[in-house]
Structure 1
């Protein structure tokens, strides 16, 4: 016969309501009482009846997460962070890929799967601020990223312009003046909002040092994978474009760029410095380890999950707009220009 809350209450020497408060998080419970209840739960092997709880509360304790592509390192690591934070709050995460398509982003917002989850965290790259009404659904939504801005929505993002400006400043302080920027995209392409903001920071940093932007140094890419970074560097080298440093708008692009430089006989950082953006775990183990921008991924995950859970459990209140802070993570892929 399955163990019940009343069995736990009897063994712990507390009331049924106290056990219920501990299990469901309804009300504050003293540490000593919580410890007794948790010890009784462990001894009896009590397993909560999640289906009954769902029916009782009208909630599934599941959150939706919609990101463009999990193959992109940033979104893979962000998803992992969100899953960890959600678990700490008693929620599980149903994750899906929208594939940089409008149809799948809309499906994530309004499709039948929304009935399985209590709320949604979404990082749109095709939908824009013109589509704000699509985000105003019955169940709460938290928006990530740079493509949708509205004072009517809860929005968690990063300081793209300031962070990219700081990354470029890092290279300028090392004496670099011919800095290639990899990651510009055609208007309307996926992640165009992010790319525009990061390239804006690059341009602002150069202008702040009295330098004109040489458009030959700004390289467009189709996507943000390693192969795209390698291709951009190959185009620079084949075009005999002079540069001593590379700012890549993602770590994946930076890794591809560094690989192509080394394959072409150029040493990183002795001949060309490379800085990325995202602080992916993999960047710690490249050769050399990658200098990058930590744009506050953990903070983004914590704030997004906390906001969504608050909306689910305590509806109401004004929309939140949050920009995570950033820091430059200096490793061995950047160095002072040799002739500086």
Structure 2
């Protein structure tokens, strides 16, 4: 038998009216009560009649944001930018975290909680192009990130190849020729690491600098600890390099710490550049040169495109890929004295 509002109310220990209020995203509900109701909905697998709810009350004014993990500062700052952009349109943002797990990403696409929103911004990390068909869902969806291209929904992303090439060209322009990379993923072609490594290689080739795989360091996660560990491993090999391209800022900051521990001066001995322009890059010592990938533009464009799909102005319009602009933010870690 189908699960009912009464079943959810009984398991959550609240009234049917309270369950209805949670489903319809009423504001004046205590967080603890909302959490109990949502947990009961998940446990029972309750599926609301979204069509009937829409006929009764119209749109909810809530959009979903699904991201891999908030321990990565990029996604925390992206969420902040999305919330600010949504607020300017009178929207509330409901957030889900997947930890970059493919099974969880696929599950959340059909989660009743996420379907309470009018539409969803979705940033997968575990899924790949082979999962593109899973993006065909019965609600407006806008894709973020670099895991799936050419899918059935609008996609807002950054210019990874061009931006990485520009970052590498910046290092070359300061006279660096032995540019190490921290954060590569072995064999990856589609994805942030693969695309940024492609841009790096394009810049080397254009400058006539040979590619040296011995100064490309693979990591799994893109956290500070991974950047520091990778740099210590590279230093232990005795490889010679005069610059480091961290494929994100947290890797670059971790690598810079390891360089300083080894007695190397940044940028005098080794220049360092990152990617993402996190707020903390302004306060490291030295401050970190980085790529601003257009995070604010990504957030604002994604919210705008999603709301256009929700409003149904062009329901049959083909999916569109939007690419944000980027810039190099030069700071002390690559400055020429």
Tell me the TM-score normalized by structure 1. 0.80
Query: Which residue of structure 2 aligns with residue 27 of structure 1?
Result: none
Contact 2:78 2:296 in 1 (8 A): yes
The structural deviation recorded for 1:313 is 1.5
Which residue of structure 1 lines up, in the alignment, with residue 81 of structure 2?
Answer: 81
Hey, what's the Cα distance between the residues in 1 that align with 2:159 and 2:138?
30
Q: How far, CA to CA, are the matches of 1:195 and 1:207 in structure 2?
A: 18
Could you say which residue in structure 2 is the equivalent of 1:265? 263
Partner of 1:129: 129
Deviations 1:183-202 (A, max 9, x none): 101347xx961100000000
In structure 1, stretches of 5+ residues that fail to align are: 1-52
- Mapping for residues 319-338 of structure 1, pairs under 5 Å: 319-336=319-336
Quote the Cα distance in structure 1 between the aligned partners of 2:84 and 2:56.
26
Tell me which residue corresponds to 2:244: 246
In 2, the alpha carbon distance for the partners of 1:321 and 1:238 equals 43
Give distance in 1, aligned partners of 2:269 and 2:170: 16
Higher mean C-alpha displacement, 134-143 vs 104-113: 104-113
Please point out which of 204, 207, 213 is paired with 1:206: 204
Q: Give the whole-Å Cα distance in 2 for the aligned partners of 1:187 and 1:119.
A: 34
> Matched residues in 2 for 1:114 and 1:266: separation?
49
Larger Rg: 1
Q: Name the residue aligned to 2:115.
A: 115
Question: Which among 274, 277, 280 is matched to residue 278 of structure 2?
Answer: 280
Q: Give ranges in structure 2 of 5+ residues lacking alignment.
A: 1-52
Aligned to 2:292: 294
Runs of 4+ off more than 6 Å:
none
Partners of 1:115 and 1:75 in 2: CA distance? 22
1:229 deviates by: 0.7
Aligned residues: 283
Alignment of 1:185-224 (within 5 A): 185-187=185-187, 193-224=191-222
Give the superposed CA RMSD.
1.7
Structure 2 Cα separation of the partners of residues 272 and 72 of structure 1: 25
Q: How does 1:169-180 map onto structure 2 within 5 Å?
A: 169-180=169-180
In 2, the alpha carbon distance for the partners of 1:55 and 1:307 equals 23
**Aligned mates of 1:143, 1:199 — CA distance in 2:** 22
2:133–2:151 Cα contact (<8 Å) kept: no
Give the whole-Å Cα distance in 1 for the aligned partners of 2:269 and 2:335.
Answer: 9
Tell me how far apart the structure 1 counterparts of residues 73 and 114 of structure 2 sit (CA, whole Å). 26
Q: Is the 8 A contact 2:129 2:149 kept in 1?
A: yes
- What displacement does 1:73 show? 0.9
Give the alignment's TM-score, normalised by structure 2.
0.81
